[in-house]
Amino acid sequence: MSLAAQIPESPLWHAADAPALSARYGADSARALADALTDPAFGDVAVVSSFGAESAVLLHMVSQIRRDVPVLFVETGWLFPETLRYAEDLSAHLRLSDVRWLHPDQATLDAKDPKRLRWSYDPDGCCEIRKVEPLDRGLQPFNLWVSGRKSHQNRARAQLSLFETQDKRLKLNPLHDWTNDKLRDYAATHQLPPHPLVADGYPSIGCSPCTSRVQPGEDPRAGRWRGWDKSECGIHKAPDADHEPVF
């Protein structure tokens, strides 16, 4: 049966769709990405990027298929100046034509983070208003989003699959099984410009108050929220459950 025949008119994805699609594509994540970006059966698609340490690889792959795909970038108000410049430079280098900078809602910031110190005592709450809510808003028109997460990044991501569902949207992780060496080789082969902070000891780059240098042998994301029992910003929630609620 064709993919289109399996998908309802207005694609609302269900938990069982993710393992079925992961099995359908197997190890061919490049074809999954090409289909997701070009086959209307998948619905409206966006790429989500932090323009961080490893973002160039996925964005280059995307640019080889469709330069006009919407790329959602959450500018939290706390990103390093180097990241903002890199977002502009890399977008221009790859000739991405629809990079959307998403910002936190100013009224929400005025009410919940008026002194810009929420990161220091409530990082979950800070991420909620500065990352999760703006991305949720930006994702509203889309049925599928492409993420650059990899399973080697930390233990929480070890079980990452090619496809997931979250909030009835499909999420594609085309780099889920890529190793550091494969990422490095791809970036070298395509002469991709690195994020300027990588050479300064930052293998994973988020907001400036919550990102520190990583020592040799540490988990690449060890510098994120150091000292807190927190390893994710909250935009990647647990995949939808297998069962549908009964009302």
Tell me if 139 is assigned to a ligand binding site.
Answer: no
Q: Which of residues 57-116 bind ligand SF4 (CB under 6 A)?
A: 76, 78
Contact range with ligand SF4 by CB under 6 A, out of 58-66, 173-181, 184-192, 203-211: 203-211
- In sequence order, the 6+-apart residues with CB closer than 8 A to the CB of 111 are none
The reply on whether position 52 binds ligand SF4 by CB under 6 A is no
Distance CA 20, CA 197 (A): 39
Shortest Cβ distance from residue 220 to ligand SF4 (Å)? 16
The binding track of 210-229 with respect to ligand SF4, each residue x by CB under 6 A or -, is x-------------------
Contact range with ligand SF4 by CB under 6 A, out of 33-41, 124-132, 133-141, 235-243: 124-132
CA dihedral sign, ordered 146, 149, 155, 156: negative
Tell me if 55 is assigned to a ligand binding site.
Answer: no
> How many angstroms from the chain centroid is the CA of residue 166?
13
- In sequence order, the 6+-apart residues with CB closer than 8 A to the CB of 122 are none
Q: Which residues of 175-186 are buried (b: 16+ CB within 10 A; e: fewer)?
A: bbebeeeebeeb
> Which residues contribute to the site for ligand SF4 (CB under 6 A)?
76, 78, 119, 123, 126-127, 130-131, 206-207, 209-210, 233
